[in-house]
Amino acid sequence: MSTTEIPPFVRADGPDKVTGTGRYAADLTLTGMVYAKFRYANVSHARITRLDVSAAREIPGVVAVITDADVPDVHYTPVIADRTLFARDVVRFEGEILAAVAAITPEIAQQACDAIVFEYEEIQAVTDLEAAMADDSPLVHEHWDRYEVTGDTIRDRNVATFSALTKGDAPAAMQTADVVVASRYVADACHAVPIEPRAIVAQWEGTSVTIWTSSQVPYDARAGVCETLQLSTSDVRIIVPHLGGGFGGKCGFHFEAHIAALARAANRPVKLVFSRWEEFVAPDRRREGMIVDITTGVNRDGEIIARTAWLAIDNGAYMADAAFFPQLAAMHVAGPYRIGALQIDANLIYTNRQPSGSVRAPTAPQGCWALESHTNEVAAAIGMDPVDFRRHNLVRTGDEGPVGQIYEEIGAIDCLELAVASASASALGENESLGVSMGWWPSFAVPAGAWVKMHNDGKVQVVTGAQECGTGAVMTLRDIAADELGIDPTDIALVYQDTAAAPTGPGATGSQTLLNHGRAVERAAIEVATQLRELAGEALEAAADDIILANGIASVTGSPTSSVPIPELAATAAGANLLLGSASAPVPDYPEIPASACVGDQGMASWLAPQFSCHVAKVRLDRQTGVVRVLEVHAAHDSGTILNPIGAHGQVEGGILMGVGQALTEGTRYDQSGRQRNAALLEYKLQTIADAPEITTQFVEIATPNAGPRGSKGLAEAPNVPTAGAIANAVAALIGEPVRELPMTSERVWEVLDAQGVAQ
């Protein structure tokens, strides 16, 4: 590795985005293009008795209408194949697609959708998580036991998957505790709400289809199209133009196959652009609602003797990528603490609501909010300061985690001390208080590849399967390559977001971009740097190991005047077809844990290079209205080596503001049938710049081996984890008890005050 410091962050996609010249999927127009609309069920649970599209097909300007009868008979989704592209026999949530229409204008397409005859027999909707687990509950999937299943999947009726974490004998250990505290917390579902609504354009050329889509995971999208339309990988190309945010809501495979099938039927390019209502209702990626019952036994000195917990997680109608959520949620309810004995049972429940899936740090903000609120209750029960209680119990280097993992060097306690010290300088006014919360999040290591090519003018092209969703992680890849090659990052062009051009990669999900693609780009760039050093050694009559690459020049160690410009070396190599590197970085080994530690293991039993965080929030409460205003957030994060400080600070700030929304205003409201009541930006209350608190960010930089490039870890999701918990504990300090529902809206806060008889 070069010793040159990585230069300041330069975003290759910046000029296009700030000048408005960059094209997003919705901006694309192809010759002969027509427009798509979907006909939705708009009912939560019903048996289809009649679906007649004949009138829609007769409307002038309609070029194609397709239903389940027009696509291959394929059940899909990971782990449990419980879904078809179009509704078949039964609809299970309001956003289920009955038919797709292509017409010469969006208005005609919508007219045709409205003309489709849909008759049905309504079935009782399953919406209550606890009732759904009863033996006499209606089934969301009547034939649940017939679906193809992969992995160590435990399921029963409406329990889609089940996981349990076990350490020792928690019930027995609980009997020995001096104090036992039990709590229940309930979190509403909420949404990712990227400002760009999703858009898809599909065009066929013979037997091959090209799809432009607003996806965070183009390779997953390609795999979904291939599976559901029975196509080969070489016949499907996915291109992602600029992406206007995703926050996990654009992960996975969504509607690309619908539009590809529609384009084939229309024999013309087809374009779909969602309305805001559709963006709320149709995708199978929303943040899951959750019930957390948690009990902790402690000694008077603050030692955690035992913890038991029961979790119910709202999966919605179909399995998206939520199979591992019970295991992940259980880890967040265990938390980054030393615990003598542990038993956490977590259930993922089918309901007749929109499917849940990966929204920034899935299950973590809710699980952390419940745990950290409960942690303050436990500390109060033994008369211990909540910060001191965390000091006493946080995991440290060499400690054993909840499922037996032994932690290498970590900075959890450092995060606590930094954030608390930062907040200690904050003066508190009337009705103001501070709240502290710890959080953690795993690093996800998966295969990824990259190519690095130097042209004969010394300019470089990095080809990567990475996906840029706005975080800047892909932009950092060229800084890594530039550092290894000793050139300016502006001399590097990026080719990405095109499955036909780049090697396979995981996309922008799970904080994986820099972690995985960074390792691949680093290795590929080292290959080219090695070739450059060999050329320079020949030209300068020196050993290749003595060549330094820096500032666009190859020079000999200890003899800076003996040098040659890198573009000159590149020119001499052009004819020999050199200066090309390719790499698929080996996937780091995950830590070992006892086999008995986890039941229903979906791959989250141990955490590679865990990230730790502490947020301290300062809030102000209006006791007359219950309105909470977040004034400050002091954040400290252990995310390994920070390669891009500007980007890292931006990720923390964005994650915190998203966390403020989830804490106070963002929650999906449903009627009794499972239909959304606030699927619009006017009713679904996002935070804006006017709501942003003052944010102070510090990093505990611990170079972490066996993780990302240069000792880095992931970062994008971690800042979203502890924010709600910190706000909750600040509010609880002001009102004397926790608010047990999330979001902690002004109405819910006021109701607690009113029940105390102190609301004014």
Residues forming beta bridges with residue 349, ordered by sequence position? 159, 314
- pLDDT tens-digit profile of 143-198? 999 999 998 899 999 999 999 999 999 999 999 999 999 999 999 999 999 999 99
CB 306 within 8 Å of CB 342 = yes
Q: Which helix (H) or strand (E) element contains residue 129?
A: helix 129-132
β pairing state of 341-350 and 304-316: parallel
pLDDT of residue 593: 87
Instruction: Please tell me whether residues 486 and 437 are part of one structural domain.
Output: no
Higher pLDDT among residues 335 and 573, named by residue: 335
b/e sequence 281-319, b meaning 16+ C-beta within 10 Å: bbbbbbbbbbbbbbbbbbeeebbbbbbbbbbbbbbbbbb
The string of pLDDT tens digits covering residues 458-503 is 999 999 988 888 888 888 899 999 999 999 999 999 999 999 998 8
pLDDT for residue 573: 83
Residue in this structure with the two tokens 């608010």, named with its chain if needed: 739
DSSP 151: S
Judged against a pLDDT cut of 60, whether residue 314 lies above it is answered with: yes
456 pLDDT more than 60: yes
Distance, first Cα to last Cα, the chain? 63
In a domain, 210, yes or no: no
Residue 158 lies in a domain: no
How many Å apart are CA 238 and CA 218, to the nearest integer?
A: 6
Q: How many domains does the chain have?
A: 3
DSSP string across 657-701:
HHHHHHHHT----B-TTS-BS--STTTS----GGGPPEEEEEE--
**Is the per-residue pLDDT at 671 higher than 70?**
yes
Of 480, 478, 26, 477, give the one whose Cα is nearest residue 244: 26
Ranges of beta strands (E only) in 289-395 are: 290-298, 304-316, 341-350
Confidence band for 405, pLDDT divided at 50, 70 and 90: very high
Q: Which pLDDT value is given to residue 6?
A: 41
d(CA 438, CA 747): 27
- Same structural domain for residues 735 and 600? yes
The verdict on residue 166 lying in a domain is no
Residue indicated by tokens 């949530």: 93
Side chain identity at residue 703, one-letter code: A
The more confident residue out of 602 and 740 is 740
Count CA atoms closer than 13 A to 559's CA, side-chain side: 11
Residue-wise pLDDT for 256-298, tens only, equals: 999 999 999 999 999 999 999 999 999 999 999 999 999 999 9
Q: How confident is the model over 509-522, as pLDDT tens digits?
A: 888 888 999 999 99
Phi-psi region of 706 (alpha: psi -120 to 50; beta: other; left: phi over 0): left
- Position 314, amino acid: D
Domain CATH number, residue 619 = 3.30.365.10
462 and 596 in a single domain? The answer is no
Q: Is the pLDDT of residue 49 over 60?
A: yes
Q: Is residue 612 part of a domain?
A: yes
Answer whether 80's CB lies under 8 Å from 147's CB.
yes
Last residue of a domain, one of 552, 584, 616: 584
Query: What is the token pair recorded at 224?
Result: 């979904």
| The pLDDT of residue 747 is above 70 | yes
The candidate with the shortest Cα–Cα distance to 39, out of 120, 104, 119, 110, is: 110
The tokens for 262 are 């529609």
Residue 394: beta bridge partners?
Answer: 337
Angle at alpha carbon of residue 661, lines to 656 and 665, rounded to 5°: 160
Mean pLDDT of the chain: 94
Pairwise CA distance, residues 654 & 660, whole Å: 10
Q: If DSSP codes are grouped into helix, strand and coil, which group holds residue 490?
A: helix
| 234 in a structural domain | no
Structural domain span for residue 723: 290-444+592-756
Q: What is d(CA 75, CA 79) in angstroms, rounded to the nearest whole number?
A: 11
Q: Where are the alpha helices (DSSP H) in 214-315?
A: 218-229, 256-266, 276-281
User: HSE-up of 302 (CA within 13 Å, CB side)?
Assistant: 17
Q: Is residue 98 part of a domain?
A: yes
**pLDDT exceeds cutoff 90 at 224:** yes
> Are 451 and 313 found together in one domain?
no
pTM, rounded to two decimals: 0.96
Residue 7's pLDDT band (boundaries 50, 70, 90)? very low
Tens digit of each residue's pLDDT (9 = 90 or more) over 712-731: 999 999 999 999 999 999 99
Residue 421 backbone phi and psi in degrees, to 5: -65, -40
On whether both 571 and 639 belong to a single domain, the answer is no
| Of 568, 584, 600, the domain-final residue | 584
**440 and 451, same domain (yes or no):** no
Q: What percent of the chain has pLDDT over 90?
A: 86
Kindly indicate the confidence band of residue 10, based on its pLDDT and cuts at 50, 70 and 90.
low
Residue 309 confidence (pLDDT) above 80:
yes
CB neighbour list of residue 54: distance below 8 Å, 6 or more residues apart: none
597 shares its domain with 688:
yes
Return d(Cα 366, Cα 332) in angstroms, integer: 9
305 with 423, same domain: the answer is yes
Asked if 185 and 240 touch (Cβ cutoff 8 Å), the reply is no
Same domain, 497 and 365: no
Q: Is the peptide bond before 743 cis (omega within 30 degrees of 0)?
A: yes
Question: Residue 736: is its pLDDT beyond 90?
Answer: yes
Q: pLDDT tens, 553-599?
A: 999 998 878 999 999 999 988 666 679 999 988 888 888 888 888 89
pLDDT of residue 78: 87
377 lies in some domain = yes
- Decide which of 526, 551, 584 is a domain's last residue: 584
- Verify that 436 and 456 share a domain, yes or no: no
Both tokens of residue 594?
């006892």
Whether 526 is in a domain gets the answer yes
Residues 745 and 600 in one domain: yes
Helix (H, G, I), strand (E, B) or coil at 455: coil
CATH number assigned to the domain comprising residue 59 = 3.90.1170.50
Same-domain check for residues 311 and 360: yes
CB neighbour burial string for 240-272, b if at least 16 within 10 angstroms, e if fewer: bbbbbbbbbbbbbbbbbbbbbbbbbbbebbbbb
